[in-house]
Amino acid sequence: MLTNDQLSQWDRDSFLHPSTHLAQHARGEVQGRIIIGGEGCYITDRDGSRLLDAFAGLYCVNVGYGRTEIADAIAEQARELAYYHAYMGHGTEASVTLSKMVMDRAPDHMSKVYFGQGGSDANETNVKLVWYYNNIRGLPRKKKIISRWRAYHGSGLMSGSLTGLNLFHRKFDLPLDMVRHTTSPYYYRRDTREMSEPLFSAQCAADLEQLIDTEGADTIAAFIAEPMLGTGGIVPPPEGYWEAITPILEKHDILLIADEVITGFGRLGHMFASPAYGLTPDIMTIAKGLTSAYAPLSGSIVSEKVWKVLEQGTDENGPIGHGWTYSAHPIGAAAGVANLKLIDSLGLVENAATVGPYLTAQMQAALGDHAHVGDIRGEGMLTAVELIADRDSRTYFDPDRKITPQIVAAMGRRGVIARAMPQGDIIGFAPPLCLTREEADTVITATTEAVAEVL
Ligand code: PLP
C-alpha cells in the first residue's frame, strides 16, 4: 500500500486540481483529503477518519454513498456493453430507458432529453440549441443570453460566462460578448434595508426589463437561471420574484432556461423545482442528482415548443451538428436508471421535504441570535448560514481573516464537512437526501461549536 507521504508527493508533482490555489497546493500548503470509502452520509479518509458529508460531495451524491444497487448496475453494464454511441439514432437499453424515466418525471410540457456529461456542457448545449432555434425561426439577431450576478452555470467558455461570480471570470477573458448579467435576487444583500421582499422582487424585474430595453428585445434569446441560487450563496427566491420575472420573458419572446443541476431530482423536496415555483421552462439543465454522481451524466430537457423548431431545422438542414462521443454513455445511463429507482423506493424526495426544513429550523434555533450570524436560510435539503462582522450594518468580515474557511476547518475536526461558499462568508449545507434527523443534529452541533471556536 502506498504511504501517505508517497501519495502527497505524487499529488503535488502530477495533479493539476480544479478550483484550487495551484501554487499553494504545489508548495504543500493545501491539504486536500484523500477519500477511500463512503456509506450513507459518511465518507472515510485514508487516516481512517469518518466524516459526515453535509455537502454530498458537490451537492451531488443525493442517494448517499455506497449504494450497491447503483454499483451493481454500473458493473453489469460495463461487463455487457461498456460503450456504444448515440449518434444517428443509435442507443442502448440503458440510455433509452433513462430518457423515458426522465421524461416521465419532467413537467408535462417538456418533450425530449439530450444527454451530456456534466452541467457545464449541458449549458453549452442549451445555448447552442437556443441559437439554432432562433436561426431556424429566421431571427438571427436574437442571440444574447441574460444571466444573473451570483449565478453558477459551469466553467466552460459559455457556461463560465453565464456564471455570475467574478472568481470564475478573472483572468480568463470571460464573460463572452453574448452574455449580459442582471440583478441577483439576493434579498439579504438588498441595498435598501426597508424594502419588502415583493418590492425587491419588483425591482429585480424592473432591472431585467430595463436591460432588455437597453439591449433591444430583438437581440435577446434567453434568460438562464437556477430556480433557487446555489453556489452564489444558497438563496431562495424572494417572495413574488418568479411571478414578476416570467411575464417579462413571455412579453419579449425570451426563452427560459431553468438550470436544475442542483435542484433537480429532489433536493428542494420536489422532483424538480421549476413547477414548485410556477415556472414553465423552455429548456431545463439536469446533472448531479440524475446519477447521484455515481457516473458523470447530464441532460438538456427541451419543451415541445423548442422541439418542434428543432425538428423543422433538421428537415431543412439535415442532422443536427451537435454531439459528444460520450452523449448518453451507457454506464452513466445505467447508473441513472438505478439511481432514479432508488430515489423513488427510498422516498428521498419526501425525506428532503421534511429533514431539510428541520435542519434549517434547528440551525436557526441554535445560531439565529448569534451576534455574527446575519442570515440563516434554506429550502428543502439546502441550507446556508451567512456570517457578518456587524449585524446592523451587514458589513462583511475582512476576507483576509478567512472566517468561513476557519469555521469549516473547525467543523472538519469535529467530523462534519460543510462548504465555505466561494463568495462572501457563507457556510453551505447540501447533505445527501437520505440525511436523518439525528445526522442533522450532528451537523448543527458541529456548526455551533465551530462558530463558537472561531468567533
Ligand atoms: N449549473 C449549476 C446550477 C451548478 O451548480 C453546476 C455545478 O455546480 C453546474 C451548472 C456545472 O456543472 P458541472 O460542474 O457538472 O459542469
237 lies in the same domain as 352: no
Residue 239 maps to a domain: yes
Cα gap 439→191, rounded to integer Å: 37
The answer to whether the predicted template modeling score (pTM) of the entire model surpasses 0.90 is yes
Residue 272, amino acid = F
Query: Angle 392-393-397 (CA atoms, 0-180°, nearest 5)?
Result: 110
Residue 178 maps to a domain: yes
Residue 27 maps to a domain: no
CATH code at position 52? 3.90.1150.10
Q: Is the CB of 230 under 6 A from ligand 1?
A: yes
Compute φ and ψ for 303, nearest 5 degrees.
-75, 165
User: For 39-67, what is the mean pLDDT?
Assistant: 97
| Residue with CA nearest ligand 1 atom 13 | 119
User: For 277-291, what is the mean pLDDT?
Assistant: 98
Cα gap 51→39, rounded to integer Å: 10
pLDDT tier at 243 (50, 70, 90 boundaries)?
very high
Q: Which of 324, 345, 366 is the last residue of a domain?
A: 345
Comparing 192 with 129, which gets the higher pLDDT?
129
95 lies in the same domain as 139: yes
Residue 11 maps to a domain: no
pLDDT digits over 149-161, tens only?
999 999 999 999 9
> Mapping DSSP to helix (H, G, I), strand (E, B) and coil, where does residue 153 land?
coil
User: For 95-112, what is the mean pLDDT?
Assistant: 98
Supply the pLDDT for residue 355. Answer: 98
User: For 2-10, what is the mean pLDDT?
Assistant: 91
Q: Where are the beta strands (DSSP E) in 117-211?
A: 144-148, 179-182
CATH code at position 226? 3.40.640.10
Q: Which of 345, 373, 407 is the last residue of a domain?
A: 345
- Which phi-psi region, left, alpha or beta, contains residue 58 (left: φ > 0; alpha: ψ -120 to 50)? beta
Q: Is residue 34's pLDDT more than 90?
A: yes
* Closest-lying ligand 1 atom to the alpha carbon of residue 226: 3
341 lies in the same domain as 447: no
- Ligand 1: centre distance to CA 154 (Å): 5
Which of 293, 304, 164, 144 is CA-nearest to residue 225? 164
- Domain residue limits at 314: 70-345
Q: Is residue 192's pLDDT more than 90?
A: no
Supply the pLDDT for residue 255. Answer: 99
Cα gap 455→446, rounded to integer Å: 14
* Closest-lying ligand 1 atom to the alpha carbon of residue 298: 15
Q: What is the ipTM of this complex?
A: 0.99
Pocket mutation for ligand 1, best pick of 153, 158, 257 (most atoms within 8 Å of C-beta): 153
- Ligand 1: centre distance to CA 392 (Å): 34
Mean pLDDT of the chain: 97
User: Cβ–Cβ contacts within 10 Å for residue 74, how many?
Assistant: 20
Supply the pLDDT for residue 193. Answer: 85
Query: How many structural domains are present in the chain?
Result: 2
275 lies in the same domain as 370: no
Q: Is residue 191's pLDDT more than 90?
A: no
Q: Which of 316, 345, 374 is the last residue of a domain?
A: 345
Supply the pLDDT for residue 4. Answer: 87
Residue 9 maps to a domain: no
Supply the pLDDT for residue 79. Answer: 98
Lowest average pLDDT, out of 107-111, 146-150, 192-196, goes to: 192-196
